Structure 1
């Protein structure tokens, strides 16, 4: 969310001081809508109980945007490994009917505990299952996001107080 804000917040200010044909008010509305869409996408909940694993979203998130899914433990046949286009590894639950595959949620707090519960409920060996991103990757992303926010602050301050971009 912070990276989204760091990438978008300067745009209305820069549009105002550079006389672009896009209205700064329109940009603020679009940034707000984008923020809500991103928040909806990131509001995924993973629920594990005795009978199933379930991925849900809050009621305010439209179903056409994000649906969610549920899979009974008894219907899990295997965890299938797939590589991503960026070279990462993800895992899919394959149901016994093999008509659907469900992405194992990998960006959750307590991922190791989730994997142990999956192993306990399904009997599938999960010793090689690792999270997609390591915690240090998020720390690097946070550091660069904070740096970008500092640069954004300086850019907005310079553009609005000194009018440097006003003649561009």
Structure 2
């Protein structure tokens, strides 16, 4: 634990990740109401628009996560407009953190959990801007070695996903054009 005055740092989800995931959501869902109308599906297109709008709001809320770090501990929080029913944040004091434990994911990646003295686990936020600065701060505050802790995914992965999403959006534009022109 350092003796210097502690400043408050706020880390947000990377704009690259947020933009890519929101764009992918749009690419996968926007054609649905047009296709429902074109195929005369039993679900009205207006209902689909409402559902897609609510889904976009929910996704944006989930991607609005903030990690706040200060001299007391680390906290994951969401804006006030995101209902706690959907996204519960968490808070843990530095002195309660006993370890940082790695766990492998089903896809072969590695995530880390803060493990408290009472045995509770809190997922280390890994898709934030300033991740290296964040883990340096964790190391400074807890004394836990974080030199091997790396982000779950590298920016190039999201750049490739964004490129494919743009291609999908172009195909969507063509599909919507055909659906509208075919009526």
Bin for the TM-score computed over the shorter chain: over 0.9
| TM-score, with length taken from structure 1 | 0.94
Match of 2:16 in 1: none
Structure 1: which 5+ runs fail to align? none
Match of 2:83 in 1: 62
1:42 is aligned to 2:85: no
Match of 1:139 in 2: 159
- Superimposed CA distance per residue, residues 90-133 of structure 1 (whole angstroms, 9 cap, x where no aligned partner): 000000121x1000000000111111111111000011101000
| TM-score, with length taken from structure 2 | 0.87
Q: CA RMSD in A?
A: 0.8
Higher relative CO (Cα under 8 Å, sequence separation at least 6) belongs to 2
Alignment map for 1:44-123 (pairs within 5 Å): 44-98=65-119, 100-123=120-143
Q: Indicate which of 141, 151, 162 corresponds to 2:171.
A: 151
Aligned residues: 162
* Divergent runs of 4+, >2 A: none
1:16 is aligned to 2:37: yes
How many Å apart are 1:34 and its aligned residue? 0.6
SS in 2 for 1:82: strand
How many Å apart are 1:14 and its aligned residue? 0.6
Using the alignment, how far apart are the partners of 2:38 and 2:87 within structure 1? 37
